[in-house]
Amino acid sequence: MILTINCGSSTIKFQLFSADLSRVLARGAVNQIGEPGSHLSYRTNGRSLHDARPFPSHHEAFEASIAALLDPKHGAIKSIGEIEAVGHRAVHGADLFVESTLIDDEVIAKMEECVPLAPLHNPPNLIGIREARKLLPGVPQVAVFDTAFNQTLPPKAYLYALPYRFYQEHKIRKYGFHGTSVRFVSQRAAEVLGSPIAALKTVVCHLGNGVTMTAVDGGRAVDTTIGFATFGGVMMGTRSGDIDPGLIFHLNRALGLSLDEIERIIYRESGLLGLSGVSNDMRVVAEQAEAGNEHCRLAMEKFAYMVRGYIGSFAAAMGGINCLVFTAGIGENSPQIRAMACQGLEFLGIRVDEARNRAAVGGKEALPINPVGTSVPVLVVPTDEEKMIAMDTLRLALSGHPN
């Protein structure tokens, strides 16, 4: 069996896959680690477990997660030896990791090197890896990097037009995120279409609380929207997305806001929340727009307009588009945003069938939403980052491990 682990600053999420990856045998999470409301929730085979108690650190949370998997009443395994490999979500691999990798001491040291690039994300990832190695010694562990898929971007796409030394000396460049999700859905799209991935020029719209647009040409990422610091591209739940950086100086000098205040505004108070004045959740914004709230309507319009702009831009970057994919919370569940984003793209061969679009909500299967017979397939593909992590883990674990 394969265990996947996604370790955040105050959470551990885990899933246990059957050896052939066809089934999720158990899934669980410890939330609010180190905070007063910390608790573990866990489900397997229709049974569930809720354990609200102090989890002062990731160490206790990790031990409790393994104990839940082994629990005689609620557990999914009888002995820890049944876990044959562990896959870890790893956020930032900089340019040191171009693909998923088996973890050894050298990999951990390289991941440490990447910490300055993702100070909020990489340290908890490393904690998860260390805890898993302690509790499951000798079991192969794999790191699957969010940034790896975007390592195929050409320099013209990943470089900023800053003095070159900032790239050379400080690794300042576009890295891109959500790569695990984008890789999964672009491969799924090729499977569903029965097309070799090499023949596809796909734009993937990963529209969740975080938003990433990616141009995938022949299965390789060639451009993406999120840049250096999990920022850029389309507006998100609370992040503004693309803004003129001159604004930051203006907010500081003319309005007297400190850098910390500006950071808070553009990361936490902008995007859907900022424009709508109501919520960072598209469901709430859409409801209020429906009820006549003009700011909410405008927030949706701006969101869809930015998505549409990048579909066009990336079609131009690839010299065409023959597959468009919507995924993640908004992409999988909002026919309205999908229709608005595709409006006016008929000149690229992109059309949306109203009934198919309305029907493709919250499903588990990839579904086409273009009218039958139109040239560009438009697909809603549910993403599954854990499955992608498990797939890489299985492949690499079978190839032999360094421990």
Q: Nearest distance from residue 331's CB to ligand ADP, in Å? A: 8
In the numeric block, which tokens belong to residue 388? 């992608």
Give min distance, CB of 75 to ligand ADP, in A: 28
Q: Which stretch binds ligand ADP (CB under 6 A): 11-19, 84-92, 122-130, 203-211?
A: 203-211
Whether 16 and 26 have beta carbons less than 8 Å apart is answered as: yes
**What is the rounded distance in angstroms from the CA atom of residue 21 to the CA atom of residue 394?**
9
Number of residues that bind ligand ADP (CB under 6 A): 13
CB of 364 to ligand ADP, least distance (A): 15
Q: Is 105 marked active-site?
A: no
* 67 Cβ contact list (under 8 Å, min separation 6): none
Using rule CB under 6 A, residue 82 touches ligand ADP: no
Q: Is residue 281 involved in binding ligand ADP (CB under 6 A)?
A: yes
Q: Collect contacts of 133-139 with beta carbons under 8 A, ≥24 apart.
A: 133/103, 135/62, 135/63, 135/66, 135/80, 136/66, 136/80, 136/83, 136/86, 137/403, 138/403, 139/83, 139/84, 139/85, 139/86, 139/403
Closest to ligand ADP by CB, 386 vs 392, is 386
Q: How far is the CB of 283 from ligand ADP (least distance, A)?
A: 5
Residue 329 within binding range of ligand ADP, rule CB under 6 A:
yes
Candidates 19-27, 215-223, 302-310, 324-332: pick the segment binding ligand ADP (CB under 6 A). Answer: 324-332
- What burial letters (b/e) apply to 230-242, b meaning 16+ CB within 10 Å? bbbbbbbbbbbbe
Give the binding range for ligand ADP (CB under 6 A) out of 153-161, 330-338, 344-352, 363-371: 330-338
List 40's β-bridge partners, or say none. Answer: 30, 51
Supply 99's token pair.
Answer: 């693909």
Which is nearer to ligand ADP, 149 or 201 (by Cβ)?
149
Q: Which one of the listed residues 51, 104, 146, 260 is annotated catalytic?
A: 146
Nearest residue (CB) to ligand ADP, 86 versus 286 = 286
Q: Which is nearer to ligand ADP, 178 or 201 (CB)?
A: 178
CB-CB contact of 232 with 242 (8 Å) = yes
* Residue of minimal Cβ distance to ligand ADP: 329
State yes or no: residue 208 binds ligand ADP (CB under 6 A).
yes
Residue 356: other Cβ atoms inside 10 A: 17
* 374 lines the binding site for ligand ADP (CB under 6 A): no
User: Residue 282 interacts with ligand ADP (CB under 6 A)?
Assistant: yes
Our finding on whether 301 is near ligand ADP (CB under 6 A) is no
Q: By CB under 6 A, which span of 17-25, 163-171, 195-203, 277-285 interacts with ligand ADP?
A: 277-285
224 touches ligand ADP by CB under 6 A: no
Q: Between 8 and 75, whose beta carbon lies closer to ligand ADP?
A: 8
Q: Is 140 in the site for ligand ADP (CB under 6 A)?
A: no
Applying CB under 6 A, among 140, 210, 233, 271 the residue interacting with ligand ADP is: 210
Residue 87 or 208 with smaller CB distance to ligand ADP:
208
Per CB under 6 A, does 328 bind ligand ADP?
yes
Give the footprint of ligand ADP on this chain (CB under 6 A). 208-210, 237, 281-283, 286, 328-330, 333-334
Just list the catalytic residues: 146
